[in-house]
Amino acid sequence: MARLAGVSRATVSYVLNNTSAVRISEPTRRRVREAAKELGYVPHAAARSLRAGHSRMVLMPAPDFPVGPLYSRFLDELQWALGRLDYTVVQYGAVGVRGDEAARAWAELRPVAVLVPGSDLGTKGVTVLKRSGARAVVTLASESVEGAHALLLDHEAVGHCAGAHLYARGRRRIGVVVPEESGLESFSAPRLAGVRRALRGTDATVVELPLAYEESAAARLAARWRELGLDAVFAYNDEYAMLLMRALQDEDIDIPGHTAVIGADDLMLGRLLRPRLSTVHVELPSGRDLAELVDRAVRNPGAATETHTVLGASMVHRESS
Amino acid sequence: MARLAGVSRATVSYVLNNTSAVRISEPTRRRVREAAKELGYVPHAAARSLRAGHSRMVLMPAPDFPVGPLYSRFLDELQWALGRLDYTVVQYGAVGVRGDEAARAWAELRPVAVLVPGSDLGTKGVTVLKRSGARAVVTLASESVEGAHALLLDHEAVGHCAGAHLYARGRRRIGVVVPEESGLESFSAPRLAGVRRALRGTDATVVELPLAYEESAAARLAARWRELGLDAVFAYNDEYAMLLMRALQDEDIDIPGHTAVIGADDLMLGRLLRPRLSTVHVELPSGRDLAELVDRAVRNPGAATETHTVLGASMVHRESS
């Protein structure tokens, strides 16, 4: 490239690295840039971040649970909002690596910020990330971690909303679906706890219903529905609710006459069912607010960590409850 | 770290970089490694890849279309299969950057391989990636790109399968839903072309039906259904089929008596509808086969590029057609 531009190799390096310590004339700079373009030169992000001490990379571990439409939309908005602030989101898909061990793998990429949804990251992991140059670590989970900013996802509130609604509709024997698919415990456990809290001290009882996302599993549960003596079910989310409601209808169980069924997430499909599905509308954190939190933290890494409780829950009452 | 281990800084560097050119005793190596561990040292992937000339990073652009359950499952399997071969999948979420310009951004991370689903990557982009050290570029699209391995996704076959089925069921006025959401054209256009091809030279006609994924849009389409005079519709996929089928049922249009409705993807939800939804079962490329193709290409970057046609399409006939 130096030959093509007719300058020294040092000059090429100065120009492409945007070194301001050395004075180089504008025509020379232009010549080097044109030569670089002609040769298809691409700067090395690694080398650049080694020099600058940090990157514009915001790392997120790829989720290890089945991603629903709600999370997809949140991620889209977040990528867009961080993109506008000149960050690039990178989803890191290491398999079978968890917690602080995962943090070491992420740290190798030297991200400027790390967003950890539903994680088991500990204080040690946060320290590893910060030592490696991450200026901000933000967790999205039920509990905060020392040293990290926290968006506290209040899944308990989702369950509480469901439990309170069913009680108010006169239901007293309330089933709560707990998915058997792995990776969903961190959502399902607080939802169940929320239902229990809503019904504590009342005459209502709660029955835990493990369920795999399969037609045959739903059919087996529906077959023993009358024995269970339930008059309502909070089915974890709209997709499980659709599955279970179909199985109950196939057993000629009237909904909501015999059993009220409610989901969560407020997906389109709930409105397409008959009876129309009642659901807990879940408001995920805004991608834009989260992007701004990241940017604030990157600019001022020494500031105190922020904690925000997010995940609004509100009941959407339709026909199934 | 050198102080803690009681060795020179050069020795620390040799040990941590696994330099074999310099002889260092095992006890010294152990002392350095223990000091590194105590200090929470994390190697810099960037620096490592600068030294080694390549990384173990397989880069995929994050999809810019709404991701369905089928793609999620494919991605999970791919991450798992590449993980077993000691690669890490990184999904790169740049917003609004496309084609060869995107290739330059990806190249900055110096991935050892790049997988590009549904892309508009050109020959120039492939060259940029290879010059920057990518040993394998694999596209997953309808057409191949010079210099890149290609998994040809035959979406045309999906449409052909749908068209042939509806014709065989005696349908002659066949609507084809084309989603209005952006990012889906590269799937919907070949599906429509496939239906047309299946019906070419017959007495059947094809009517294109643009549709947004919204209840109100489906209701508007259903309201003018009788004017359209269609006796069948291929609804792009199962989710659009569910939306449109509900709107048609709300207009008292008998399915399949008056209009046959079929989807694609063979999702669980189609089996839960009444009538049960007929659908084109789509077989995505196996994550394991793709991981092996990547590994083969990385090991032997000089070999001829491979082209495989994937995406099996087969009809699942249920009650709606």
pLDDT of residue A10 exceeding 90: no
Residues near A82 by beta carbon (within 8 Å), at least 6 away in sequence: A58, A88, A89, A287, A291, A294
- Residue A123, H or E segment: helix A123-131
Q: What is the pLDDT of residue A221?
A: 98
Q: What is the DSSP secondary structure assignment for residue B156, as one 8-state letter?
A: H
pLDDT of residue B44 exceeding 70: no
Q: What is the pLDDT of residue A114?
A: 94
Tell which of B74, B77, B86, B109 to mutate to test the A interface (max A CBs under 10 Å).
B109
Looking at residues B306-317, what average pLDDT do you find? 90
Residue B38: pLDDT band with limits 50, 70, 90: low
Task: Among 3.30.300.30, 3.30.70.940, 3.40.50.2300, 3.20.20.120, name the CATH number for the domain at A155-283.
Answer: 3.40.50.2300
Domains B53-153+285-310 and B155-283 are alike in CATH topology = yes
Tell which of B67, B77, B90, B276 to mutate to test the A interface (max A CBs under 10 Å).
B90
Residue A283: pLDDT band with limits 50, 70, 90: confident
Looking at residues B94-111, what average pLDDT do you find? 82
How far apart, in whole angstroms, are the C-alpha atoms of residue A127 and residue B43? Answer: 15
pLDDT of residue B15 exceeding 90: no
Helix orientation angle between B26-38 and B9-16, rounded to the nearest 10 degrees:
90
pLDDT of residue A268 exceeding 90: yes
Looking at residues B250-265, what average pLDDT do you find? 98
Peptide bond between residue A256 and the one before it cis (omega within 30 degrees of 0): yes
Residue A49: pLDDT band with limits 50, 70, 90: low
Residue B102: pLDDT band with limits 50, 70, 90: confident
Q: A113 exposed, middle or buried (CB, 10 Å; 0-12, 13-18, 19+)? A: buried
> Which residues in chain B (256-295) have CB-CB distances under 8 A to chain A?
268-269, 271-272
Residue B75: pLDDT band with limits 50, 70, 90: confident
Looking at residues A89-97, what average pLDDT do you find? 81
C-beta atoms surrounding B128 within 10 Å: 24
Q: What is the pLDDT of residue A230?
A: 98
Residue A319: pLDDT band with limits 50, 70, 90: very high
Interface confidence, given as ipTM, is 0.79
How far apart, in whole angstroms, are the C-alpha atoms of residue B38 and residue A253? Answer: 62
- Choice among A101-105, B166-170, B222-226 with the minimum mean pLDDT: A101-105
Are residues A70 and A279 in contact, defined by beta-carbon separation less than 8 angstroms?
Answer: no
The most confident of the ranges B111-125, B220-234, B283-297 is B220-234
Residue of B nearest to A218 (CA): B272
Identify the architecture of domain A52-153+285-311 in CATH.
3-Layer(aba) Sandwich (3.40)
Compute the radius of gyration of chain B from its Cα atoms: 26
Q: Which two tokens stand for residue A124?
A: 């040690």
Question: Which amino acid would we find at residue B127?
Answer: T
Minimum-distance CB partner of A62 among B79, B104, B110: B79
CA distance A40 to chain B (A): 6
Domain ranges in chain A are 2-43, 52-153+285-311, 155-283
Q: Nearest Cα to A54, choosing from A306, A305, A298, A303?
A: A298
Q: What is the pLDDT of residue B41?
A: 61
Which CATH code fits B53-153+285-310? 3.40.50.2300
User: Higher model confidence: residue A36 or residue B141?
Assistant: B141
Beta strands per DSSP E along A142-239: 149-153, 173-179, 205-211, 232-234
Helix boundaries (H) for B149-259: 155-168, 185-199, 215-223, 225-228, 238-250
Residue of A nearest to B47 (CA): A46
How far apart, in whole angstroms, are the C-alpha atoms of residue B155 and residue A89? Answer: 29
CA distance A175 to chain B (A): 21
> Cβ of B90 and A91 within 8 Å?
yes
Minimum-distance CB partner of B108 among A45, A50, A107: A45
Residue A120: pLDDT band with limits 50, 70, 90: confident
C-beta atoms surrounding A303 within 10 Å: 11
C-beta atoms surrounding A46 within 10 Å: 22
Q: Nearest Cα to A236, choosing from A264, A200, A203, A195?
A: A264
- In percent, the amount of chain B with pLDDT more than 90 equals 56
Residue of A nearest to B84 (CA): A95
Residue B66: pLDDT band with limits 50, 70, 90: low
Name the pairing type of β-strands A113-117 and B136-141. unpaired
pLDDT, tens digit, for every residue of A157-206?
999 999 999 999 999 999 999 999 887 888 899 999 999 999 999 999 99
**Contact pairs from chain A to chain B, CB under 8 Å:** 126
> Cβ of B91 and A88 within 8 Å?
no
Cβ-based contacts of A113 with chain B (< 8 Å)? none
> Which residues in chain A (48-67) have CB-CB distances under 8 A to chain B?
48-50, 62, 66-67
Residue of B nearest to A100 (CA): B40
Looking at residues A82-86, what average pLDDT do you find? 89
Q: Nearest Cα to A309, choosing from A81, A162, A120, A155?
A: A155
How far apart, in whole angstroms, are the C-alpha atoms of residue B232 and residue B259? Answer: 5
pLDDT of residue B154 exceeding 80: yes
Q: Nearest Cα to A32, choosing from A64, A57, A10?
A: A10
Q: Please tell me if residue A46 touches chain B, with a CB cutoff of 8 Å.
A: yes
User: Higher model confidence: residue A13 or residue A29?
Assistant: A29
Residue A286: pLDDT band with limits 50, 70, 90: confident
Question: Which amino acid would we find at residue A298?
Answer: V
Mean pLDDT of chain B, nearest integer = 87
- Choice among B64-68, B161-165, B219-223, B310-314 with the minimum mean pLDDT: B64-68
pLDDT of residue B175 exceeding 60: yes
